Amino acid sequence: MLYFATFDTGRLMSVFLKKTGGVMLKNLIIYGAMYGLTIFIVTSMFLASPEVDEGLKFIALIIAVFASTLITKYVKGFAFMVVGPWYDVWKYLDNRTYAAKPHTVSILIPAYNEEVGLLSTVKSVLMNDYPHIELIVVNDGSKDNSDTMMRDYVASVKLPRGKKLLYFYKENGGKGRALNYALERATGDIIMSIDADCLLEKNTVRNFVRRFDNPTVMAAVGNVKVGNPDNPVTMLQKLEFQFTFYWKKAESVMGIIYIIGGAAGAFRREVFEKFGGYDVSTITEDIDLSVKIQSEGMNIVYADDAVVYTEGANTLKGLVKQRIRWKYGWLMTFANHTNMIFSRKKQHNKILCWFAIPLNYFTSALLFVEPWIILLLYIYCTLTQDYTPFITWIILESLPFFVHALYDDRTLRKVSFFAIAPISWILFHISTYVEYRALIGSLGDIVRRREATWGTWTRTGVGVSLNKLSS
């Protein structure tokens, strides 16, 4: 009896760990290892006696030269951290200056094989408190069960007053064509686009629309957050998004936003009347449209309270695949808009054309050597027992956490958020590796002349409940 009781208990424990505790245990081991490495480096700085061999001085020189160029990335980050807090002043004055106006909103959702999250995305839109919403879902020839799910939902749903839901299934043609298909059927004077794996907070649409009370605003980008930070890969993306969208506060103040992601963008109808819809020849139609808007000198702003949750790629392989697509689209877009680099045209923002875009090219070029220099730094510090560079790195990577929590989202002032700060330097090493792979992969796609297709990976869901969003 004792044997079987022990066996049953062990089996139950095994099932429990597999279904619920397995992921937690895995994360605990990974984060524990990161903390262990960080503690080892910090304590080694005080206990070890650095000895620099003559033969290693040349390596130190290479590292120093590269570090001086790498500082440009931190200069941009710290400059944006200084300007970012002024966004709240700008938004306050903007809200005081322009009275609220009624707008009709058309929300476009293109979808391809999105049976995991599409229905939740649709429900989160219809739950929004804005009264005039026209939701248009275009299924671009999906091969999964999403078409059946949507048809059943459309047939049974009782729409809230003022809400309209249109659903279409078409032959596969790519995301750009799916968006244009929806755009042709949209009647709103404000056009929003979101991805099929996103969830909206209940006031997201209203907060988007509020930005267009200012007649000079032609487009707005929302505040995208990763809703499934349940492993180190998705946690990395959560941190990337938090800092990137905090920087958009500074970009909005300076008028240099030039990327409106497909997960959360809103536009005046006049934008599409001028440009004729989305470009179907590019793999990142959202970046292409954003740059066109900036190229015409139109005003793009950031809506920090228009919150949209998205699903982060949950594996390193999936993340690399996603970033290859993004990098490829970015490179191809600016290959078509080289006129903006160091432009003197009146309608072009000089900070954007003379600082932001060239700096992005420069940091992309640095990626060719950055992972190898980091590896060289590891070797150098191990051989010399001098871990001072790592301590500096840890401090530089941790500081934005405190600035971000102080001036941005107060909900981030939690122990769990600050607990990531000491090991963030390791997570951003992973980010460097991903971006390096993305750069090499995107250049390969350019050589092979890759066609514009949907970017996909295994979906598991956003990780945010609809009940929480509606509360």
Measure the N-to-C terminal CA separation of the chain; round to a whole number of Å.
Answer: 51
267: closest CA among 240, 296, 238? 296
Q: Is the pLDDT of residue 331 over 50?
A: yes
**Does 457 or 353 have the greater pLDDT score?**
353
Asked whether 158 and 436 are in contact (CB, 8 A), the reply is no
What tokens appear for 54 in the block?
């003559």
Interval 273-302 mean pLDDT: 93
Give the CA dihedral 355, 356, 362, 367, nearest 10 degrees: 160
Q: Which fold has domain 99-314+327-336+461-470?
A: Spore Coat Polysaccharide Biosynthesis Protein SpsA; Chain A (3.90.550)
Domain locations in the chain as residue ranges: 99-314+327-336+461-470
pLDDT above 70: percentage of residues in the chain: 89
Return the axis-axis angle of helices 57-83 and 357-366, rounded to nearest 10°. 150
Q: Is the pLDDT of residue 15 over 60?
A: no
Q: Report the pLDDT value the prediction gives residue 192, as an integer from 0 to 100.
A: 97
Q: Is the pLDDT of residue 195 over 80?
A: yes
Q: Report the number of secondary-structure helices (H) and strands (E) in the chain.
A: 19, 8
Min mean pLDDT across 121-130, 203-212, 458-467 is at: 458-467
This prediction's pTM: 0.87
Single-letter amino acid code for the residue at 460? T
pLDDT tens-place string over residues 103-147: 999 999 999 999 999 999 999 999 999 999 999 999 999 999 999
- What's the per-residue H, E or C state across 32-63? HHHHHHHHHHHHHHHHCCCCCCHHHHHHHHHH
Q: How many CA atoms lie within 13 A of 106 on its CB side?
A: 24
pLDDT above 90: percentage of residues in the chain: 47
Dihedral sign, CA of 400, 405, 411, 416? positive
Q: Report the pLDDT value the prediction gives residue 60, as an integer from 0 to 100.
A: 77
What is the rounded CA–CA span in Å between residue 239 and residue 430?
12
Q: Report the pLDDT value the prediction gives residue 70, as an integer from 0 to 100.
A: 72
State phi, psi for 336 to the nearest 5 degrees: -90, -5
pLDDT tens-place string over residues 76-102: 777 888 888 889 888 888 877 777 788
Q: Is the pLDDT of residue 301 over 60?
A: yes
Q: Report the pLDDT value the prediction gives residue 6, as an integer from 0 to 100.
A: 40
Q: Where would I find the beta strands (DSSP E) of 76-156?
A: 105-111, 133-140
What is the rounded CA–CA span in Å between residue 253 and residue 89?
10
What tokens appear for 37 in the block?
């490495």
Q: Report the pLDDT value the prediction gives residue 50, as an integer from 0 to 100.
A: 74
Q: Report the pLDDT value the prediction gives residue 9, as an integer from 0 to 100.
A: 45
Q: Is the pLDDT of residue 275 over 70?
A: yes
Interval 48-56 mean pLDDT: 73
Q: Report the pLDDT value the prediction gives residue 186, as an integer from 0 to 100.
A: 97
pLDDT tens-place string over residues 402-414: 776 666 666 666 7
Return the axis-axis angle of helices 370-384 and 57-83, rounded to nearest 10°. 120
State phi, psi for 225 to the nearest 5 degrees: -125, 145
Single-letter amino acid code for the residue at 284? T
